[in-house]
Amino acid sequence: MTVATADVLHVEVAHRVATLTFNRPEKLNALSTELIQASILHLKAWALDPEVGAVIVTGAGRAFCAGGDVSQMASATGSTFEQRLDTLRAGQELSWLLYAIPKLTIAAVNGYAMGAGLGIALSCDLRIAAEGARFGTAYAQVGFGGDYGISWQLTRLLGPAKAKELFILGDVIDAAEALRIGLVNRLYPPETLLTEVRALAERVAAGPLVSFRYMKENVNLAMTSDFRSMLDREAMTHLRCGETEDHREGVAAFKEKRPPRFQGR
C-alpha cells in the first residue's frame, strides 16, 4: 500500500485501487490551484500504471467539492483574459482525465458537490453518493456560465431541458432526487459509503481490465458517433479483447465451472 498526504490532497494506492481525497475541509474542498495540479499529476501517472485498475475520487469532511475557490478568483483579477483562460483550460484537464483515462473512475460523493465539484463528479464513470449528499450547479448565484465539463455532462446524462433547469434555476437537489433522475448510480449511508465504494473499485480492479478499457472508450464514443461507426468500432475492440489472457482465462473458467482469475492483461 502507498499513502501520500499533502496539505490539500490525500493519495492512497491499495489493492490496485487509487484514491484521491480532496483535503481542504475548512473550505468544503473548494478547488485551489495546488489541489488541481496535484490531482492532474496523479491521474496522468495512474493512467499508465498497470498496478492501478480503478480510481476513486472523494472529499474530506462534509463536502465532496464545493466548486472553485472564490478567494483565488479574486486574487486573479489582475491577470489578462487570456491568462485566466489558459489557467482555466489547464485546470479543466482534471475533468477530461477522469472521463478519458483507461481506468474506471468512481466519484464517492460524501457531501456537497457544487459547481465545478459537480462537474468533476459527473466526469467520473460512476457516481456513488452518501444519503445526505447534495448537488447543485451554483453558477447562476454568482453570475458564471459553467465549467469543468458540466454543461456537456449534464446535457447528455439528463437531457437539455433538465440541464437548463438545473443551471438556470440553480436548485440544490438531495441524494434521493439525484438517484431518481440518474445523476448518481447508487446511494449508501454516509458511514458505509467509502467501504462500499472501495469494495466496488476492488471488484473492478480484479476484473478483465483490457475489456473494461474498451467498454469505457466505446460508451464515451457512442455519445458522439453514428451507429455504423460504432458497429465497426465494436468489431475491432471485441476481437482485440478476444486476444487477451483474461479472455482465455474467462473461457477456461466457464468450462471448468469456477470463478475466473483475471490478471488484467
* SS3 category, 101: coil
pLDDT score at 68? 87
Q: Give yes or no on whether 2-205 and 209-256 have one common fold.
A: no
Whose cell is 448510480? That residue is 185
In this prediction, residue 3 carries a pLDDT of 64
For domain 2-205, say whether CATH 3.40.50.970 is its number.
Answer: no
Domain ranges of the chain: 2-205, 209-256
Classified by CATH at the fold level, domain 209-256 comes out as Lyase 2-enoyl-coa Hydratase; Chain  A, domain 2 (1.10.12)
For the record, the C-alpha cell of 43 comes out as 491521474
DSSP summary character for residue 191: T
For 106, phi then psi, to 5°, come to -130, 125
* pLDDT number for residue 238: 97
pLDDT per position in the chain (265 positions), as tens? Answer: 666 666 999 999 999 999 999 999 999 999 999 999 999 999 999 999 999 999 999 999 999 999 988 767 656 667 899 999 999 999 999 999 999 999 999 999 999 999 999 999 999 999 999 999 999 999 998 899 999 999 999 999 999 999 999 999 999 999 999 999 999 999 999 999 999 999 999 999 999 999 999 999 999 999 999 999 999 999 999 999 999 999 999 999 999 999 999 999 9
SS3 164: helix
